[in-house]
Structure 1
Amino acid sequence: LIESNSKLLLKLVGDILDISILDSEVEIKHNAVDVNACCQASIDAAGASFDPGVKLIFEPACDELIINSNYNYIVQVLDNLLGNASKFTHEGSVTLAYEVKKEENQLIFTVTDTGIGIPVEEQERVFERFVKLDNFSQGAGLGLSICRIVAERLGGYLRIDKGYTQGTRVIFCVSM
């Protein structure tokens, strides 16, 4: 119990530091990023947190894709999105996929789950700081707020697909 609470406290402190850094206009360094490696790292990290009845699926758009972005921030967002999916999906599947929109110079990630979903009226509110729809779930309610800031700092956006009703689909876009 002490170890578990220590990890939660460490995560909270880390999240607050992340928000502080992201809120300051410190420039995010960009370099060559292997998109499939980002996705695989997040899937590998998240795999153990899923219930045994949940299938974790990765659907890459390409065999290889290198973009100019920030590996650590992309992985941080994907880790958080997969972590949220694991908390609220107890059967079915979670799918991490991406598509390339060359004309718009965008890379679009989606994390789609068959979990409990988020009510439409709450879908924008979950991106506010310290907001948790389930007070009994782990976390401080900072993860999605941090993810949205990261997405914006990477030239993109983070939002929930309002048209998906079989659970939750989160769309994470970055500039390439």
Structure 2
Amino acid sequence: MAAALRRRPPPPPPTLFSLSSPPLTNHKPHHHHHHHHRSRHKSIPKIPFASFRNGSIPPETQCPVPLDQQPINEYRALSSSFPFSWAAAALVEYCSRLFVTGASFALLVGLPVAFFGSAGHQYSDPVRPSLAAASSGLFVVTLAVVRMYLGWSYVGNRLLSATVEYEETGWYDGQV
């Protein structure tokens, strides 16, 4: 089942507090009545900034979306997986990885298939099998680029969306 979650405005960023700083409080206005009431203070918890460093997960939230389906966690998983992490590299490194992928496929798969596929004509025209091998390498690079684009656009759209659709797990998935 897919459900939608309305995104609330993000909380203010955590800040560092010194030990001598006074506690932050939310003062409610006092009503002057005949009865003497103590002022009510709502404390804002102090969250040290260091607890969110190095990709650590913030404290438990009331978000119903499972952790692995939350867009930020999908982004983290995608950015560290093969071959999607290539997009984070410099353009020259990205292009060289694509070139090596295409050339490797062309030499290791495309060329043997092209030479053995042309059984009777294998020595007459070496240009045709070479072009077939290069085409197979280009085809694999195209598939890799399209796959990376689709993966990044999916996660990017989920990060920018005001609502997040997710799959709920139930007894039929083996989890209760």
Q: TM tier, shorter chain?
A: under 0.3
Normalised by the length of structure 1, the TM-score is: 0.23
Normalised by the length of structure 2, the TM-score is: 0.23
Higher RCO (Cα < 8 Å, 6 or more apart): 2
